[in-house]
Amino acid sequence: MRASTSAADGRDPGAREDGYEPDPQRWRALWVTLVAGFMSLLDVTIVAVALPTIQRDLHASPAQVQWVVSGYALTFALALVTAGRLGDALNRRRIFLLALSGFVLCSAACGAAPDITLLVVARLAQGLAAGFMAPQNSALIQQMFRGAERGRAFGFFGATVGISSAAGPITGGAILALASGAQGWRWIFYVNVPIGILAVLLGRRLLPRTRRSERGHVDVAGVLLLGLGVLALMYPLVQADSGGLSRVWWLFPVGAAVLAVFSWWQHRLVARGAQPLLDPRLFSTVRGYAVGAGIGTLYFVGFSGVWLVFALFYQRGLGFSPLRSGLAVTPFALGSASAAVVAGRLVERFGRLLTVCGLAGVIAGLGGTALLLRFAPLHMAPWLAAPVLFLGGIGGGFVVSPNITMTLRDVPVRMAGAAGGALQTGQRLGAALGTAALPGLFYLVLGRSHDYRGALVTALGAALVGMVASLALATADWRRDRRASRSRRTCPEEVANDPVHARQT
């Protein structure tokens, strides 16, 4: 790990805290956080397959029903950094349990909603609860694990992120297939209730108890600035289906300007020795954090949007049911899950090389799938694409898990919540961009040519652009690491005295 410049509070932002003692229940506690994280991320996509049924049952307009998905994504992203900072400043365990309890209650309210207005309100609150819960997951891993164990734990966490994103359509399709009647969509929300209650009970018993941190101040001005900036960037994206990109495009420069003011304010607080909401030294002095955040954001632009494109192609182009459509992309989720667990064990040995190889695998898998679905006979195309998607999923498992590990491994535990929240905020922004742009491009090509295959290939090609950019960033970081490693071998004394390049043991 690289040493950092002097901090305003006298501590090195990149240094490890001493006094770590392994919690004997840490692995069981990890599974509680993973189950809760799986539910919160699954709810980003699981509802999409039920939107037509919800619209008919609640007599809603297309714009209203779209808020069932986009409203959740919006409040989820808005809460992340603030929730992470509150966890660092107050008590991660308490905030996690309160947020999980709120998520369960909001899930029940969504299932019982008598009209579209109350459903949207419940979904906004549910997304807020999920946003408060999510950064505590990665922060608790930072707190409970060290060394190789932390890599394994983040491997499971990465598998959870990958599976939940890809499994939403098939899970929603399966629930709709099993639930009978027009009200079957309600079980998409009700299924969270018993699982969530069990997770709350186990969490109270297993999650580590910590004393309140001395760093209890929360930067209220920073919370407002960051919230306004993220809202301005997210709102046009989540309203893309109803013309948001053309109506409120001007919010993009407004959001960028507000975030620039937020960055200035955080630097000013650090210079004054105060406690910022998001310490800018995370990006400037903690090795791998800025690069990892960029890799994750670019990757999620393509990764999140392709599942909606596949659903549109299979259900509208080939006439598949929601369940069959979900099953068609399941090989990617299976490959991602199996690879992510293995990657968590290998990341300490191979480092950024895993991310480079994984991104190359995803690009090859999705590119090959696009070609097969474009040129193979339609009745055979999904079957032929399945093994190629599986290989792409293996690549995906080597992207998310190692990148999370390498991005957060040198972050001090006292800043873990805010760091994890910022990382996930970038991923949510990337996901929002991808889910807005890729289906929009699909419909644009389809409207001009009425060619479902051509629309699919065009949208997947756009997704690959973001992944290629992510690969370029990862490759540059890997080569920089190799040069630094050679320098340490050839000039060990010089490097050991270099405050920028030295790593602590």
Give residue 216's pLDDT. Answer: 57
Domain limits, the chain: 26-218+277-496, 219-276
Give residue 502's pLDDT. Answer: 42
Amino acid at 166: A
**Residue 78 clears pLDDT 60, i.e. is over it:** yes
Question: Whole-angstrom Cα distance, residue 75 to residue 67?
Answer: 11
In this structure, of 34-38, 101-105, 362-366, the range with the lowest mean pLDDT score is: 34-38
**Residue 1 clears pLDDT 60, i.e. is over it:** no
Question: Whole-angstrom Cα distance, residue 334 to residue 317?
Answer: 25
Question: Whole-angstrom Cα distance, residue 142 to residue 204?
Answer: 19
Give residue 499's pLDDT. Answer: 43
Give residue 181's pLDDT. Answer: 67
Q: Give the torsion sign (CA, 260, 262, 265, 271).
A: negative
Q: Within 10 Å of residue 297's Cβ, how many Cβ atoms?
A: 22
Give residue 126's pLDDT. Answer: 95
Give residue 13's pLDDT. Answer: 44
Question: Whole-angstrom Cα distance, residue 112 to residue 188?
Answer: 11
| Closest by CA position to 426, among listed 394, 404, 401 | 404
Q: Give the torsion sign (CA, 89, 93, 96, 100).
A: negative
Whether CATH 1.20.210.10 fits 26-218+277-496: no
Q: Is 503 helix (H, G, I), strand (E, B) or coil?
A: strand
Give residue 489's pLDDT. Answer: 66
Please write the tens of the pLDDT for every residue from 294-351. 998 899 888 877 887 888 888 888 888 777 887 888 888 888 878 877 887 788 788 8
* Percent of the residues in the chain that have a pLDDT greater than 90, as a whole number: 24
**Residue 165 clears pLDDT 70, i.e. is over it:** no
Q: Which residue did the predictor score with more confidence, 152 or 238?
A: 152
- How much is the average pLDDT of 81-85? 83
206 contacts 28 by C-beta, under 8 angstroms: yes
| Closest by CA position to 278, among listed 96, 86, 5 | 86
336 contacts 164 by C-beta, under 8 angstroms: no
Give the helix/strand (H/E) hosting 21: none
Give residue 420's pLDDT. Answer: 83
Torsion of CA 228, 140, 123, 255, to 10 degrees: 20
Q: Which residue did the predictor score with more confidence, 485 or 365?
A: 365
Q: Which residue did the predictor score with more confidence, 60 or 118?
A: 118
Q: Report which listed range, 68-72, 100-104, 287-291, 318-322, is most confident.
A: 100-104
Question: Whole-angstrom Cα distance, residue 35 to residue 207?
Answer: 13
504 contacts 3 by C-beta, under 8 angstroms: yes
* Percent of the residues in the chain that have a pLDDT greater than 70, as a whole number: 88
**Residue 157 clears pLDDT 50, i.e. is over it:** yes
120 contacts 67 by C-beta, under 8 angstroms: yes
Question: Whole-angstrom Cα distance, residue 359 to residue 357?
Answer: 6
Give residue 53's pLDDT. Answer: 81
Q: Give the torsion sign (CA, 228, 234, 238, 239).
A: positive
Give residue 495's pLDDT. Answer: 46
CA distances from 236 to 101, 217, 240 (A): 30, 32, 6
Please write the tens of the pLDDT for every residue from 257-287. 998 998 998 889 888 887 788 888 888 888 8
Give residue 394's pLDDT. Answer: 92
**Residue 505 clears pLDDT 60, i.e. is over it:** no
Question: Whole-angstrom Cα distance, residue 481 to residue 350?
Answer: 11
Please write the tens of the pLDDT for every residue from 177-234. 787 666 788 999 999 999 999 999 999 999 987 655 545 577 788 888 888 888 888 7
Q: Which two tokens stand for residue 209?
A: 């108890």
Average pLDDT, the chain: 82
**Residue 166 clears pLDDT 60, i.e. is over it:** yes
| Closest by CA position to 326, among listed 386, 240, 392 | 386
Q: Which two tokens stand for residue 265?
A: 């304010």
Buried b (16+ CB within 10 A) or exposed e, 449-460: eeebbebbbbbb
Give the 3-state DSSP-derived string for 199-235, with helices as H, strands as E and coil as C.
HHHHHHHHCCCCCCCCCCCCCHHHHHHHHHHHHHHHH
Residue by residue, DSSP assigns 356-375 as HHHHHHHHHHHHHHHHHHHH
Please write the tens of the pLDDT for every residue from 137-147. 888 888 888 87
| Closest by CA position to 240, among listed 480, 432, 4 | 432
Please write the tens of the pLDDT for every residue from 388-446. 999 999 998 898 878 888 888 778 877 777 788 888 888 877 877 787 788 878 888 88
Calculate helix-pair angle for 352-375, 289-312, nearest 10 degrees.
Answer: 20
Radius of gyration of the chain (CA): 22
- How much is the average pLDDT of 442-464? 88
Q: Which residue did the predictor score with more confidence, 88 or 366?
A: 366
Give residue 19's pLDDT. Answer: 60
Q: Which residue did the predictor score with more confidence, 245 or 324?
A: 324
